[in-house]
Structure 1
Amino acid sequence: MLAWAPYGRRGIFGGFEGVSEWDVLWFGLPVMTLGGIAAGITLFALVRGKWRQALGAGALLTGLVGFGVVFDVLAGPPLNCDPGPC
């Protein structure tokens, strides 16, 4: 949630420069919520010594990370760079 907060602070409807950032709502928030739950389940299973549950939750977590990377769900607004250095 902390990684999402800077992009959502202006509000979903206000968005960046008046453009709504619906990708944050539809992709970023669910991926981070499910990822946090899967990370907690993985850690809890590892602490209790239930390796099969930990592997399953770890696989789910890996899939969520892959989805997040492929669809770039935590991408910020594009930088507007002039011909000079950014």
Structure 2
Amino acid sequence: MENRRETVHEAVRGVAGCLVVAAGGAAGMLAWAPYGRRGIFGGFEGESEWNVLLLGLPVMTLGGLAAGAALLALVQGKWRRSLGAAALLAALAGFGVAFDVLQGPPSSCGPDC
């Protein structure tokens, strides 16, 4: 009886963990959405910036997944896993800044804005 209870408890924790990480990925996509709308559907003279889709969406989604995994590892008390997920999150943030993945199309009012 006790073994079955432990198995059910592990299954519930696993499902909850998957839901937390999936929610992190969804949050990353939702955070990307305003940049995607502005970058893909054009700005000045209908110009599109496809790097927002090709680089921005994966970076933001993976960042959300890494944040969810770090949070889950922290809650479970697994410090090494949480540090690994935080390092991945920092690497993704560095990649995003280096390649300016959320840069939309140029502004319509020029450099004097």
Picking from 67, 76, 81, the partner of 1:53 is: 81
CA–CA distance in structure 1, aligned partners of residues 111 and 48 of structure 2: 24
Picking from 23, 42, 48, the partner of 1:20 is: 48
The one-letter amino acid paired with 2:86 is: G
TM norm structure 1: 0.80
Kept in 1: contact 2:96–2:102 (CA 8 A): yes
Aligned residues, how many?
A: 83
Kept in 2: contact 1:4–1:28 (CA 8 A): yes
Cα 1:45–1:81 change in 2 (3 A) is same
Q: Percent identity?
A: 71
CA–CA distance in structure 2, aligned partners of residues 82 and 21 of structure 1: 18
Q: Which has the larger radius of gyration?
A: 2
Picking from 6, 17, 40, the partner of 2:68 is: 40
Kept in 1: contact 2:66–2:88 (CA 8 A): yes
Cα RMSD between the aligned structures? 2.1
Q: Which runs of 4+ in 1 moved over 4 A?
A: none
TM norm structure 2: 0.63
